[in-house]
Amino acid sequence: MISIRTLTALCLSIALATPVAAQERRLPSSLGEVKLSYAPIVQHAQPAVVNVYAAKVVQNRNPLLEDPIFRRFFGGGGPQPEQIQRSLGSGVMVDPSGLVVTNNHVIDGADQVKVALADKREFEAEIVLKDSRTDLAVLRLKDTKEKFATLELSNSDDLLVGDLVLAMGNPFGVGQTVTHGIVSALARTQVGITDYQFFVQTDAAINPGNSGGALVDMTGKLVGINTAIFSRSGGSQGIGFAIPANMVRVVIASAKGGGKAVKRPWLGARLQAVTPEIAETLGLKRPSGALVASVTKGSPSEKAGLKLSDLIVAVDGFPIDDPNAFDYRFATRPLGGTALIDAQRAGKPVKLTIALETAPDTGRDEIVLTARSPFQGAKIANISPAIADEMRLDPSVEGVVVTELADDATAANVGFQKGDIIVAVNNKRIGKTSDLDRITNESARLWRITLVRGGQQINVTLGG
């Protein structure tokens, strides 16, 4: 479960309704209308909402066994006892062939995944695609040829604050549960859960175990995947967040296309938020938009004519309040086409057409460092445009980036983090992965390391 403050991450499932030609928004005109039931929607949705069970095997590590003196006098070699960690979440069937979408945090690191249908049947499932940037994952049921009930995805841009929604999932493992509420807010961007922060907020009650479930509108369509709640107690307090269906659609399309990673448009520019001080300097009535902080040479943004200090105010007609809103709007544009960017340059309006293409990923040269050194167990890569875009790195920084760390790796134990850019080791510049690989194979009593983390340069010295 993910948490924000005491923000407890969980996803909820939502149920589908019997499709209606058009949704009419109006006040009830009779007592009979007030007594209308959600039952038809729930009955339609239940077959497509599933429970997701994930398990992984971990070793129980005795901290005393890490001490060489303890091992010398008391032994302690040999295999350590194993323990199975289990997690429970929800999911939604989105393709009749057995494709299920859920939260990445529900199945992350799992050795085994099972999906249980509403009719109590269970299937082994394989992980087709994981996307930590959106906290979404796609599963496929194994060894089955039948056609399953699914939920159709809506256009989440049609949602309005006040619209009724249903949440469906398996809270606390008690079984499939339905709750109702309204859309409390749209385009929440200051939540801090994922890279793409543009959430649908709802007051429908959701709790641990709902993660990965569906948020459904009154036309019976999936409007979002419930992902987190804001809570001081760990239970529902009426503030839940769902990933909009339009972002879910992008991840599903990548999975259906056979990709192991989600393909998204590449802007090739770094954006920053507009502070009140910047807004005053620019002559804006309020802080809004996304300010261009840098443009990558040869990128789609440079080719389109985007300039440093341009203020992006809209994408394909959708207003942009901050960089998070831009990221969502741009990432949900279809590859192969173009996006129309409305910007302000020196107070004058500018329109730019940017090609929607993926970032080049040549020369990644990803390797795992195995030699005895502080870097042992770290997976590193050259900083290609795709890596820089994926990990939110400054592409102008020279070095190699840590892309993955095993929990028990030496590199993790000494404090390295995913996203660290290794710039120099023992006064030698690191230009590519082979440089760091060669240096780690040289014995050293001290390791003087220069790295960049979160845009800040850090110098550390570690014993050999």
**Percent share of the chain, pLDDT over 90:** 38
Q: Could you tell me the pLDDT band of residue 5, with boundaries at 50, 70 and 90? A: very low
* pLDDT over 70 at 1, yes or no: no
What's the pLDDT tens digit per position in 95-119?
Answer: 999 999 999 989 888 888 999 998 8
* pLDDT over 50 at 17, yes or no: no
* pLDDT over 80 at 133, yes or no: yes
Q: What's the CATH superfamily of 3-18+39-45+150-256?
A: Trypsin-like serine proteases (2.40.10.10)
Q: Could you tell me the pLDDT band of residue 8, with boundaries at 50, 70 and 90? A: very low
What's the pLDDT tens digit per position in 312-349?
Answer: 999 999 999 989 899 989 999 999 999 999 999 988 99
User: CATH 2.30.42.10 region(s) of the chain?
Assistant: 269-326+333-355, 367-463
* pLDDT over 60 at 76, yes or no: no
* pLDDT over 80 at 421, yes or no: yes
According to the model, what pLDDT value does residue 462 have? 83
Q: Is 180 annotated as a binding residue?
A: no
Q: Tell me the two tokens of residue 161.
A: 């604050």
The CATH number of the domain covering residues in 47-62+80-141:
2.40.10.10
According to the model, what pLDDT value does residue 432 have? 92
Q: Could you tell me the pLDDT band of residue 271, with boundaries at 50, 70 and 90? A: very high
Lowest mean pLDDT among 64-78, 372-386, 439-453: 64-78
According to the model, what pLDDT value does residue 61 have? 56
First to last CA, the chain: 37
Residue partners of 407: CB distance under 8 A and separation at least 6 = none
Q: Is 415 annotated as a binding residue?
A: no
Q: Is 135 annotated as a binding residue?
A: yes
What's the pLDDT tens digit per position in 135-189?
Answer: 899 999 998 889 999 999 999 889 899 999 999 888 777 778 889 889 888 877 6
According to the model, what pLDDT value does residue 200 have? 87
Catalytic one among 90, 211, 236, 384?
Answer: 211
Catalytic one among 131, 135, 203, 420?
Answer: 135
Query: Which one is predicted more confidently, 196 or 142?
Result: 142
* pLDDT over 80 at 16, yes or no: no
Q: Tell me the two tokens of residue 123.
A: 């299937």
User: CATH 2.40.10.10 region(s) of the chain?
Assistant: 3-18+39-45+150-256, 47-62+80-141
Q: Could you tell me the pLDDT band of residue 363, with boundaries at 50, 70 and 90? A: confident
Q: Is 95 annotated as a binding residue?
A: no
* pLDDT over 70 at 251, yes or no: yes
Long-range contacts of 334-343 (CB under 8 A, 24+ apart): 335/263, 335/264, 335/265, 339/265, 339/315, 340/315, 340/316, 341/304, 341/306, 341/312, 341/314, 341/315, 342/312, 342/313, 342/314, 342/315, 343/292, 343/306, 343/310, 343/311, 343/312, 343/313
User: Mean pLDDT, the chain, as a whole number?
Assistant: 83
Mean pLDDT, range 82-91, rounded to an integer: 74
According to the model, what pLDDT value does residue 59 have? 54
**Would you say 195 and 134 are in contact if contact means Cβ atoms under 8 Å apart?**
yes
Give the angle subtended at the CA of 233 by the CAs of 229 and 236, to the nearest 5°: 40
SS3 for 144? coil
* pLDDT over 80 at 63, yes or no: no
**Percent share of the chain, pLDDT over 70:** 84
Query: Which one is predicted more confidently, 245 or 29?
Result: 245
Mean pLDDT, range 121-133, rounded to an integer: 91
Beta strands in 197-347 (DSSP E): 199-202, 214-217, 222-229, 240-244, 269-273, 290-295, 311-315, 318-319, 338-345
Q: Is 175 annotated as a binding residue?
A: no
Clarify whether 135 is annotated catalytic: yes
The CATH number of the domain covering residues in 269-326+333-355:
2.30.42.10
What's the pLDDT tens digit per position in 391-411?
Answer: 888 777 888 999 988 877 888
Long-range contacts of 398-404 (CB under 8 A, 24+ apart): 398/423, 398/429, 398/430, 398/431, 399/423, 399/424, 399/430, 399/431, 399/451, 399/452, 400/430, 400/432, 400/433, 400/435, 400/436, 402/378, 403/366, 403/379, 404/378, 404/379
Mean pLDDT, range 348-357, rounded to an integer: 95
Q: Tell me the two tokens of residue 175.
A: 């079984």
Query: Which one is predicted more confidently, 182 or 206?
Result: 182
Catalytic one among 44, 87, 90, 105?
Answer: 105
Mean pLDDT, range 218-246, rounded to an integer: 80
Give the angle subtended at the CA of 161 by the CAs of 156 and 165, to the nearest 5°: 65
CATH, domain 367-463, list 3.30.499.10, 2.120.10.80, 2.30.42.10, 1.10.290.10: 2.30.42.10
Clarify whether 211 is annotated catalytic: yes
